[in-house]
Amino acid sequence: MVTFTCAYCKAELKEPATGTSPCTDCSYPLSNAQAERVLRERRREITEALGLEFMSTALVKLDPDEALAKLSGEYAWAIFVQYLSPRFVIFDIMNDAVIFSFDAAPLEDVGDLRKRLDEERLK
């Protein structure tokens, strides 16, 4: 089995760390600053913000402005961008996820999110 090493934290990975498949330990090559800048610049384009709790399949609607404020709040040290694309920005916050969508169609459920992310990765 071929393994790869993260260039930043040296974690062992199953595939090379890229923008659509970042390191599972440190999110390299993505940066929180880069993701937050995208969210600030495209704030008016955010169609929905959703929360996903660890071990849950239910997406919870969030207020986009409140979700953005949480990114720089007291738990900022525990927030890592996990996915960054023109359609989605996804953060891991202590094993929960906050998803910002720029997609015109609302997300129906976790399966729908997974399908759309897979479509992006295959492009």
pLDDT tens digits along 54-66: 988 899 999 999 9
Give pTM, 2 decimals: 0.81
- 69 and 100 within one domain: yes
Which residue range(s) make up the domain with 93? 31-122
Measured CA to CA, the distance from residue 22 to residue 42 in angstroms comes to: 22
- 87 and 46 within one domain: yes
Give kind and range of the element (H or E) at residue 84: strand 79-84
- 23 and 83 within one domain: no
Give kind and range of the element (H or E) at residue 61: strand 59-62
Joined tokens for residue 50: 């959703």
64 or 19: whose pLDDT is higher? 64
DSSP state of 106: P
47 or 14: whose pLDDT is higher? 47
